[in-house]
């Protein structure tokens, strides 16, 4: 087999591996732990619900200025008022999507399965640009620029106004990369972007590397076992960014120093949650763990939800929230991990990572259900 075909085969294997893990388990996998009866410890309610069209790509809603911007697989992009569920604007991209949503309050960016980044200006299409590789990570829109991280780890910067390509950062890549949303975000005047198991600080004006911090050290006897790409989105508290390395580790980096703060072994495939003091995450078996954000010390674990197919999480006040494969939304105490509240959606898997706008929690299901909850 020639080198290009060998690389393509490995990439296809990565896609199959990641999709299988994202799906939760095979038909013959472990059965989900039955849910125990729960007397709510806090109150909460659904405040609105919308249908946005089926979502079969790893869509992450964008939240800004009271709006939540979402997209369906068929390319229907919508901005919705988080408080009321009122539609603010809608734009049909006209193509199936693979990644989204990036949004800064004015510009919105998504990526199609034809490898085109599409940017909207105030809800209307402004430009499109072709990319050389597939994209699963939502674009970052910041400083009148659109930044895109492709599956081959190349980083592309565009002028948000007219779509001019400003620079490309292309470094030597491993033959096997993760087919799952990774990390691209901003800190002060630095673009933070995943490069395999490392978080890289990049000059957003020139595309030059400033520093790298290793979250994990790949280990294993083959490319699949050594796969340890960072899983996004990252959790930010001040200068600290915490994230998971796929099936390998959990760790935090200090962006002000460009250095790793701590890293702990831990398998898992979904993004972390966090607040000022604690980082939370579910491993591949859906064992939920809380780590002290400054040191990585384990504070508590919860094994009541094994094999329930937890989504990424988000912290909101005194609880950390995860969705599961059966469409339930679980509210756990940030201090003890004990269940506080459980609310249903439409019975379909909760996908991606829940997001928060003010005191409103937004959850998306694979069937395209968009649910807004308000815990009290």
Q: Which residues contact 222 (CB under 8 A, 6 or more apart)?
A: none
- Measured CA to CA, the distance from residue 296 to residue 334 in angstroms comes to 15
Do 210 and 202 form a contact (C-beta atoms < 8 A)? yes
Q: Is the pLDDT of residue 20 over 50?
A: no
CB 111 within 8 A of CB 59: no
- Chain center to CA of 10: 23
Question: Which phi and psi (to 5°) does residue 14 adopt?
Answer: -60, -40
The per-residue pLDDT for range 34-67, each reduced to its tens digit, is: 999 999 999 999 999 999 999 999 999 999 999 9
pTM above 0.85, yes or no: yes
Q: Rounded CA gap, 190 and 51, in Å? A: 37
Query: pLDDT at residue 13 above 50?
Result: no
* Predicted confidence (pLDDT) at residue 89 exceeds the cutoff of 50: yes
> Residue 2: which pLDDT band, with cuts at 50, 70 and 90?
very low
Q: What is the pLDDT of residues 113-130, one digit of tens each?
A: 999 999 999 999 999 999
In eight-state DSSP terms, residue 365 is B
What phi and psi values does residue 218 have, to the nearest 5 degrees? Answer: -55, 140
User: Which residues have C-beta within 8 Å of that of residue 132, sequence separation ≥ 6?
Assistant: 115, 150, 152, 154
Checking if the pLDDT of 6 tops 90, the result is no
The confidence band for 72, taking pLDDT boundaries of 50, 70 and 90, is: very high
- DSSP letters spanning 83-113: TT--EEEEEE-SS-EEEEEEE-SSEEEEEET
Q: Residue 277 — pLDDT band, cuts 50, 70, 90?
A: very high
**Confidence category of residue 225, pLDDT binned at 50, 70, 90:** confident
With contact defined as beta carbons under 8 Å apart, do 96 and 125 qualify? no
pLDDT (0 to 100) of residue 175: 66
Of the candidate ranges 9-23, 208-222, 324-338, the one whose mean pLDDT is the lowest: 9-23
């Amino acid at each position: 087999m020639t080198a290009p075909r060998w690389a393509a085969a490995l990439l296809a294997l990565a896609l199959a591996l990641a999709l299988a893990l994202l799906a939760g388990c095979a038909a013959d996998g472990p059965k989900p732990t039955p849910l125990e009866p729960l007397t709510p410890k806090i109150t909460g309610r659904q405040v609105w619900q919308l249908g946005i069209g089926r979502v079969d790509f790893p869509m992450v809603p964008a939240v800004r200025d009271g709006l939540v911007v979402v997209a369906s697989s068929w390319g229907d992009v919508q901005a919705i008022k988080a408080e009321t569920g009122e539609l603010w604007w809608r734009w049909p991209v006209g193509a199936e999507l693979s990644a989204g949503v990036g949004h800064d309050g004015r510009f919105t960016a998504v990526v199609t399965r034809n490898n085109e980044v599409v940017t909207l200006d105030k809800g209307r299409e402004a430009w499109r640009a072709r990319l050389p590789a597939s994209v699963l990570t939502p674009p970052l829109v910041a400083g009148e620029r659109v930044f895109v991280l492709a599956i081959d780890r190349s980083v592309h910067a565009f002028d948000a106004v007219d779509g001019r390509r400003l620079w490309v950062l292309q470094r030597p890549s491993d033959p096997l990369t993760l087919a799952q949303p990774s990390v691209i975000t901003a800190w002060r005047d630095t673009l933070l972007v995943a490069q395999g198991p490392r978080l890289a600080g990049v000059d957003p004006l020139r595309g030059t590397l400033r520093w790298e911090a290793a979250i994990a050290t790949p280990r294993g006897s083959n490319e699949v076992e050594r796969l340890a790409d960072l899983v996004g989105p990252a959790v930010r508290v001040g200068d600290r960014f915490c994230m998971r390395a796929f099936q390998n580790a959990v760790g935090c980096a200090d962006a002000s120093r460009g250095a790793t703060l701590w890293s702990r072994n831990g398998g898992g495939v979904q993004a972390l949650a966090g607040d000022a003091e604690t980082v939370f995450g579910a491993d591949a078996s859906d064992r939920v763990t809380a780590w002290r954000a400054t040191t990585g010390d384990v504070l508590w674990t919860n094994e009541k939800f094994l094999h329930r197919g937890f989504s990424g999480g988000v912290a909101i006040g005194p609880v950390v929230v995860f969705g599961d494969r059966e469409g339930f939304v679980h509210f756990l105490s940030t201090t003890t991990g004990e269940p506080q509240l459980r609310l249903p959606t439409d019975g379909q898997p909760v996908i991606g990572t829940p997001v928060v706008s003010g005191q409103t929690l937004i959850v998306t299901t694979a069937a395209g259900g968009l649910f807004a909850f308000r815990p009290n």
